[in-house]
Amino acid sequence: MTKMTLGAHPFLLGFEQLERMVEQAAKSKDGYPPFNIEQVSERAYRITLAVAGFADNDLSITVENAKLVVRGAQEDTSEERVFLHRGIAGRQFQKSFVLADGVEVVGATTENGLLHVDLERAEPEQVVQTIQINKR
């Protein structure tokens, strides 16, 4: 018996990219930094990442090939300081989120150690196309 994948189903033509995106999202298991995804309205979403200790200029947000990528990198100032105990990790991170067609980043803010990235999905156009049937 052959296992049928999502992209190989006969009624889902041209969805191979969707299957690749699902596989890519499943591979991303790193839990740092913790984050929430909330639906703010019917067409708006907000991703909130816990970025305590990161300044605004330590963070970068880009959209690359329909993927939202949030990166954080702090300058290492540990050489100038003497720690008796160091329990707060100052590590780099990269968090990626796959965006559906029509979803755009509309803004980002930081507040109380949280980074809020606001997304909005555009209203889809209703397109009806009539196909002419030709006789042979």
Each residue of 109-129: pLDDT tens digit? 999 999 999 999 988 788 888
* pLDDT value for 48: 97
DSSP assignment of 53-68 equals T--GGGEEEEEETTEE
Low-confidence spans in the chain with pLDDT less than 50: none
pLDDT at residue 106 in the model: 96
Measured distance CA(51)–CA(54) in Å, rounded: 6
Every domain of the chain and the residues it spans: 1-30, 32-78+89-123
C-alpha–C-alpha distance, residues 74 and 95, integer Å: 15
Assign domain 32-78+89-123 to its CATH architecture. Answer: Sandwich (2.60)
Query: Residue 112 corresponds to which tokens in the numbers above?
Result: 């109380």
Q: What is the CA radius of gyration of the chain?
A: 21
